[in-house]
Amino acid sequence: MHGKKDRENNLHVNAIIFDWSGTTVDYGCIAPAITFKKIFNKYGIEISMKNIRKFMGLPKMVHLKKLLELNDVSEQWQKKYGSKPDLATLERLYNDFTPELLTVLSKYSKPVNGLVNLVNNLKYSGIKIGSTTGYTKEMMKIVLSEAQKYSYIPDCVVTPEEAGGGRPLPWMCYLNLIKLKVYPTQTVIKVGDTISDIKEGLNAGMWSVGVIKGSNELGLNQEEINNYDKKKLATMVKEVRKRFILNGAHFVIEEISELEEIIPIINKKIYK
């Protein structure tokens, strides 16, 4: 019989499931944010980036629904169009959002600095690379094609419609494990830049890691970070770290390249 010995041999990090925009590509999570704002502005509705980023990581239809449910947005819509947003409103905005996002995705699909080297090192050490997203299959075709030009090729890509639901539900993570043939869940790390990512990892029974710089939570692109007042930036980084931890993140890193440093720590914790 095998049993216990086989399980012990398997108790180390076997796979890492990354998010896409704001984590592995699109530093600052710019593409979806600017598209949401553009679509609402098209209908004469003012919406802040803070509110837009509040629900980032959710499937895009759900994200739009959450935004329409905000009191300020709902009141603006009623004042302008005579009624509160309904299902028809949601579908109209989504039908506008999707083609608009498709036009900008290729521009915002370059891997973040340090990612390709990190992934190559992880793969060399035998760790499999999965991924989840709030994007649709159609959107991911563009993102994946562009990322591949820079040599970022994960072993698995799963979208919400393929898994039967998006974040914070764990289904995309589970489908990654099935496709990657990896178990148990405590040997897998979920890495992302939103609160939805953190909750997705926790709901899947995985180690959940938040990335600060380049994230939706921080909301700054590379140029903005480089030119930001250092004290103000440090305060913002501290606030994002706190939000991740309050929402259950096991670890929080500033840069994606720091992930390698925590894998040995997680391996030791798995054995306990």
Task: Choose the catalytic residue: 26, 60, 128, 193.
Answer: 60
* Pairing between β-strand 188-192 and β-strand 207-211 as defined by DSSP bridges: parallel
Q: How far apart, in Å, are the Cα atoms of 259 and each of 118, 121, 136, 211, 255?
A: 8, 11, 27, 9, 8
Query: How far is it, in rounded angstroms, from Cα 34 to Cα 29?
Result: 9
Query: How far is it, in rounded angstroms, from Cα 223 to Cα 174?
Result: 36
Q: Give residue 198's Cα distance to chain centre.
A: 9
Query: How far is it, in rounded angstroms, from Cα 17 to Cα 156?
Result: 9
Greatest Cα pair distance in the chain: 71
Decide if 230 is catalytic.
no
The answer to whether the CB of 80 falls within 8 A of the CB of 45 is yes
DSSP symbol at 106 = G
Decide if 60 is catalytic.
yes
Query: How far is it, in rounded angstroms, from Cα 216 to Cα 182?
Result: 29
Query: How far is it, in rounded angstroms, from Cα 135 to Cα 139?
Result: 6
Instruction: Name every residue whose Cβ is closer than 8 Å to that of residue 38 and which is 6 or more positions away in sequence.
Output: 100
Query: How far is it, in rounded angstroms, from Cα 18 to Cα 133?
Result: 9
Task: Choose the catalytic residue: 4, 5, 6, 19.
Answer: 19
- Residues with a catalytic annotation lie at 19, 60
